Amino acid sequence: GAVVSQHPSRVICKSGTSVKIECRSLDFQATTMFWYRQFPKKSLMLMATSNEGSKATYEQGVEKDKFLINHASLTLSTLTVTSAHPEDSSFYICSARDQSQGHYGYTFGSGTRLTVV
Amino acid sequence: DAKTTQPPSMDCAEGRAANLPCNHSTISGNEYVYWYRQIHSQGPQYIIHGLKNNETNEMASLIITEDRKSSTLILPHATLRDTAVYYCIVRAHSGSNTGNQFYFGTGTSLTVIP
């Protein structure tokens, strides 16, 4: 089945630095990927839609200059949290659509836990 | 925005059927009902989806009411590994990149008790 890999699974960074999270579709091509954020004991919140070869579409209230998304190839999307602060600490999850599986082909990565100290 | 309502938590005895309800009274005619689950600190896992007919796969059954305003996910023989948060999501299918997003509600935290 479709597999989405996220890296790193866990990262700790200092306040003010930037962190890059990778999302890869391992055995399929994904023209669209999605990035979510999840705070403890809360639901997943969609942050943005990552479109291969074009600009990402951000949800209302999500700062595009703070959460930079690059989808340079059909198998890789990256989320960079710039100038991270402790309030950015969260669980970040990506999702990709395997179009060969039809309309239910949404596979989620295993997530990246970011801690900003 | 999430268009579903689910109870925040449920318990189920191991080996018994777990019936998880979902209310989606404002569902549109072209919107499907999807179910995902999330085990602690992992990404969501697809379970099942349907439009108006009842569906069954190796994981679960999905019962959708005739008016499509609610549905029930059934795990026929719950195991301890089924302890997770279960999300019911309604979503239309779109051929474009927009409109394909999944918006998660608060879900139901299912605890399977030994």
Model confidence at A100: pLDDT above 80: no
Please judge whether B42 and A104 are an interchain contact, meaning their C-beta atoms are less than 8 angstroms apart: no
What is the pLDDT averaged over residues A16-41? Answer: 94
Model confidence at A104: pLDDT above 70: no
- What pLDDT, in 10s, does the model give residues B30-55? 889 999 999 988 999 999 999 999 99
pLDDT of residue B60: 97
- What pLDDT, in 10s, does the model give residues A74-93? 999 999 999 999 999 999 99
**Contacts by residues A52-61 (CB-CB < 8 Å, ≥ 24 positions apart):** A52/A77, A57/B97, A57/B98
Please judge whether B32 and A91 are an interchain contact, meaning their C-beta atoms are less than 8 angstroms apart: no
- What pLDDT, in 10s, does the model give residues B68-111? 999 999 999 999 999 999 999 998 776 554 556 788 989 999 99
Among residues 7-36 of chain A, which lie with CB inside 8 Å of chain B?
31-32, 34, 36
Contacts of B41 in chain A (CB under 8 A): 91, 111, 113
Question: Which one of A6-15, A30-39, A65-74 scores highest in mean pLDDT?
Answer: A6-15
Using CA atoms, how far apart are residues A115 and A85, in angstroms rounded to an integer? Answer: 9
What is the pLDDT averaged over residues B12-40? Answer: 95
Please judge whether B41 and A91 are an interchain contact, meaning their C-beta atoms are less than 8 angstroms apart: yes
Closest-CA residue of chain A to B109: A41
* Whole-Å CA distances, A77 to A47, A73, A96, B56, B95: 14, 7, 9, 33, 21
Closest Cβ–Cβ partner in A32, A36, A103 for B97: A32
A2 pLDDT band (50/70/90 cuts)?
Answer: confident
Mutation target for A interface from B1, B38, B106: give the one with most A CBs within 10 A: B38
Model confidence at A103: pLDDT above 80: no
Model confidence at B56: pLDDT above 60: yes
Q: Does A5 touch chain B (CB under 8 A)?
A: no
Q: Mind telling me how many Å the CA of A64 is from chain B's nearest CA?
A: 17
Please judge whether A111 and B43 are an interchain contact, meaning their C-beta atoms are less than 8 angstroms apart: yes
Tokens representing A112 are 């990246």
What is the pLDDT averaged over residues A19-27? Answer: 95
pLDDT of residue B71: 97
pLDDT of residue A117: 97
